[in-house]
């Protein structure tokens, strides 16, 4: 009875925080607002004429919107209830027109089988946005998103900020219903914000991604972010086993820009921007 009482008390606290939603955050960030002009979408893979997955250097999967790495249930037979990443917010450079880039860690949104004939439409994620307007003005902010809901902006960040973002399931994690997730973002000064939210995740992948986000008309042009280094972790700060051939992802967006992940090493991996048409070689950190 005592164990049940403690569990019930913990649940009441978590549900109370989740009910507050985006207001339950810490730090100096302004009250978050919903953003509807951009979305952070599930992976959109490219295919060969025969329907097989398009692959590039070292057999990394080619997509229109993701670059980086994902570990997937169909490879590992594991489900994922926690992930973390550290990166330095990159500086975006104006080239032409409005362009966009997102750096994030998340769970879900990747392929649900080897040929990616089934996709995972659940995706819980948090990250930073690095955008440049048509007049050259740049914008940097943090966010989280629980697909299919719109992203929630959670305050400004600046180029050069060292960000650590983490998400973990904290209640009913083995169930498809009633899950609660804690999302936290910190920088060198401490916690920027933290939320506990309800979400029904498939738990089929953990993802560390540089993305060309999407707008009402589809995938947006990828901003020139230069190079970003992402240091990935799983639950209990375990370093995931990554290789380009097994779980690497590179991007060729509809506007022709590219993003190429490096081989991983003990520091993580780099993702390098390219103007197209060929992929830019990307060296490890």
Chain Cα centroid distance, residue 25: 19
Question: What tokens were used for 26?
Answer: 């810490």
Residues 6 or more apart whose Cβ sits within 8 Å of residue 175: none
Q: DSSP for 39-102?
A: B-PPP-B-B-TTSPBPB-GGGPEEESSEEEEEEEHHHH-----EEEEEEEPPPPB--SS-BB-E
What is the pLDDT, as a whole number, of residue 56?
A: 85
Q: Exposed, middle or buried by CB within 10 Å (0-12, 13-18, 19+), for 237?
A: exposed
User: pLDDT by residue (tens digit) across 212-263?
Assistant: 999 999 999 999 999 999 999 997 767 899 999 999 999 999 999 999 999 9
Predicted confidence at residue 17, as pLDDT, reads 39
Task: Read off the pLDDT of residues 123-138 as tens digits, 9 standing for 90 and up.
Answer: 999 999 999 999 999 9
Low-confidence stretches of the chain (pLDDT < 50) are 1-34
Query: What is the structure's pLDDT at 142?
Result: 97
CA dist 71 → 109, 111, 274 (Å): 11, 10, 25
Q: What is the pLDDT of residue 125?
A: 98
Q: Report CA-CA distances (Å) from 43 to 8, 19, 29, 36.
A: 37, 29, 29, 19
**Sheet strands (E) in 177-226:** 180-187, 190-198, 205-211, 214-215, 218-219
State residue 185's pLDDT score: 98
Sorted by where each starts, the structural domains of the chain and their CATH numbers stand as 2-274 (2.60.120.700)
Residue 36 is predicted with a pLDDT of 54
């Amino acid at each position: 009875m005592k164990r049940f009482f403690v569990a019930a008390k913990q649940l009441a606290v978590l549900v109370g925080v989740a009910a507050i939603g985006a207001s339950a955050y810490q730090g100096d960030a302004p009250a978050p607002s919903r953003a509807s002009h951009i979305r952070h979408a599930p992976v959109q893979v490219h295919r060969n004429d025969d329907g097989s997955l398009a692959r590039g250097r070292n057999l990394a999967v080619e997509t229109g919107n993701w670059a980086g790495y994902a570990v997937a249930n169909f490879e590992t037979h594991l489900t994922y209830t926690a992930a973390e990443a550290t990166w330095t917010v990159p500086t975006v450079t104006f080239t032409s027109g409005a362009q966009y880039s997102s750096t994030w860690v998340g769970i879900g949104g990747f392929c649900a089988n080897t040929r990616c004939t089934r996709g995972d439409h659940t995706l819980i994620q948090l990250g930073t946005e690095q955008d440049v307007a048509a007049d050259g003005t740049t914008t940097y902010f943090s966010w989280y998103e629980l697909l299919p809901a719109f992203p929630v902006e959670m305050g400004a960040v600046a180029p050069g900020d060292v960000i650590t973002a983490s998400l973990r399931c904290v209640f009913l994690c083995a169930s498809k219903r009633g899950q609660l997730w804690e999302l936290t973002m910190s920088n060198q000064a401490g916690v920027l914000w933290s939320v506990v939210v309800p979400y029904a995740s498939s738990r089929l992948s953990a993802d560390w991604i540089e993305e060309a986000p999407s707008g009402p008309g589809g995938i947006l042009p990828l901003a020139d972010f230069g190079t970003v280094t992402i240091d990935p972790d799983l639950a209990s700060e375990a370093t995931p086993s990554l290789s380009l051939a097994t779980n690497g992802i590179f991007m060729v967006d509809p506007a022709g820009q590219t993003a190429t992940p490096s081989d991983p090493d003990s520091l993580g991996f780099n993702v390098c921007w390219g103007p197209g048409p060929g992929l830019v070689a990307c060296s490890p950190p």
